Each structure stands twice: as structure tokens, then as C-alpha cells.
Structure 1
Amino acid sequence: MDVVVREMCGADYPACLTLWNRCEGLVLREQEGPASILRFLKRNHGMSWVAVSQGGLIGCILCGHDGLTGYLYHLAIDPMSRRQGVGAVLVKHAIDRLANQKVARVKVFVSANNIAGQLFWAQQGFNKGDSVDIYSQEISTRVKWWNNPASWQ
């Protein structure tokens, strides 16, 4: 299988969304719509990747950082293209780009019920953290501008 890996762009969102929705264990939050993903890609230009084969998108990964720590999100591989190294290649591209940006570490969030995802990340050399509990709060439900993407510019 010939696979081309290239930087993700906004036009890839519909195909990525279709793929994300097909991948068991991958959780998309309500607020991860097209405007949010486009903002993420703009803020983290050149960090996220897609894999294409025979003209179709077969894999994608979102990558960003805060200057100290890199974060990988929503790695998805078409079920028919798994176990062929596509996921590992996308992860390598993302980590290489983080290294070029002098980012010292990378983290990935994996759902507790996503056993296949946990195994994949362990195979990529990631260790499960157990020293921290993650607390979160959805601010999108509290702010008026959230539902007006035009104001995000």
C-alpha cells in the first residue's frame, strides 16, 4: 500500500470527522466542530498530519504544544488500514515536528475504555501516568462567544 503523509489542512476536516466517527474508542466532544479544529490547526500550524492512500484519507492525528509539552489528539486509522504501520508513521511525524520546536515531552489522552488505543500507545513507547488525576471544566457552556465562530478571529 502506497501511503503519503502530509500536513493536515482545514479542507481535511470532513474526511477526518468521518474517520473519527468510525473509530471505536475515540471520543469527540461536542465543541470539536469545524471552527474549533480550524482554530487548532491555525494555532499549531504544520503540526498535525494526515495519511492518504489511493486518493482517500486513511489516517489522521492532531498535534499541538504549549512550548513545554506536546499533546497528541484523535489519532485515527481506517480499520481496513490498521496494523500496517500507518499510525506509527503519523506519530513519528508529529513527534519529529515537536522535537524541531524544542518541545521536551509529549502526552496523549486515551479513554479508559479504549484498550486497543492503550496497547497502541504502549507499543509506541508511551508510559501510562498514574501520579496525576486530570480535572477539567467546560467553559464553552459559560461564554456567549462560543456559539459565534466569527468572533474567534
Structure 2
Amino acid sequence: MVRVMTIDDYDEVYSLWMSIHGFGIRSIDDSREGVERFLKRNPTTSAVDVEDGKIVGAILCGHDGRRACFYHVCVSEKYRMHGIGKKMVEFCVSKLKEEHINKVCLNAFVTNVIGNKFWQKMGWSMRSDMNYYDFVLNEDNLTIFNE
């Protein structure tokens, strides 16, 4: 069952993130405080999927009033290939449409073969007409990858 993510889900979602091989976690943004700040700004657009009484999928989804972005889209390896990712994406897209958001983007690591196949199968377009840039404002916000 897909539902809106709340801060009360944090411990289970964090455990899910930590269970996925190759998953990148940011030391500040993905802390309880960072996720709580994100969810306060975007209270209705993030999702979790609950199966057998536990969270098995999650999407952080937020927008700036113009464009939305998905972060940390994941499904527990045990529950993959059951349509959970698709249901969560559809849930978040529906919530974004309710808020009159017309576009959503995401970043997928090149090495994330499973994730990239998922987005291609879902009909998402990989942009080749632009470059992605970022500028680090807080060097303490490190990305750590699960092995």
C-alpha cells in the first residue's frame, strides 16, 4: 500500500536505504533533521510503500513551485518486480499534479543499472541536451555509498 511519507517513517526508511547495495546517503541531507526539513517543505509529495507491515519502498519527492525532483527512489530487493516502484511513482506524480507541478526530474548514477532500466521502462527521457552542474555549499554534507 502506497501512502504519504512522514517523519515517523524515518527510521524504517533509513534502514531500507542502508540495505541497498550501492545506495548513496548524504551525511546532512539524509539525516533525520535533513529529511524532516524536506518533508516540512513538501508535506504531501513523498511516498512509502508498506507490505507485510513494513516499509519496503520509498521516494523523497519535492518541488520548488515550478519543477519537482525525485530523490532516493528505492524498493527492497526482496520486493522488486512487483510493481511497487511504479505505484510509488504514479502516487507522487498524482500528488505533484494536484499542486500544479508540470515537470519532474531525477538523477540516477550511471552505475545504477537497475535504476536506469526502470526509468527507461517507465518512459522517462534521459536528457542529452544539457550538462548537470552543482556547487557544494557545505563540504560536511558527504555522500557515502553502501557496499
2:10 is the alignment partner of 1:13: yes
Once the two structures are superposed, residues 70-93 of structure 1 have per-residue CA deviations (whole angstroms, 9 ceiling, x without a partner) of: 111101101110000000000000
Matched, 1:78 2:76: yes
Larger Rg: 1
- 2:118 is matched with 120
**What is the aligned partner in structure 1 of residue 63 from structure 2?**
65
Within the candidate set 99, 102, 105, 1:101 is matched to 99
Please give the per-residue CA displacement for 1:34-90, whole angstroms capped at 9, x wherever unaligned: 101100000001110111111111111111111111111101101110000000000
Query: How many matched pairs?
Result: 140
TM-score calculated relative to the size of structure 2? 0.90
Moved over 2 A (4+): none
SS state of the match for residue 28, structure 1? strand
Tell me the CA shift for residue 140 of structure 1: 2.0
Q: Which runs of 5+ in 1 are unaligned?
A: 147-153
**3-state SS of paired residue (1:97):** helix
Which structure has the higher relative contact order (CA within 8 Å, separation 6+)? 2
Shift of 1:25: 3.5
Q: Give the % identical residues.
A: 29
- Per the normalisation by structure 1, the TM-score is 0.86
Over the residues paired in the alignment, what is the CA RMSD in angstroms? Answer: 1.4
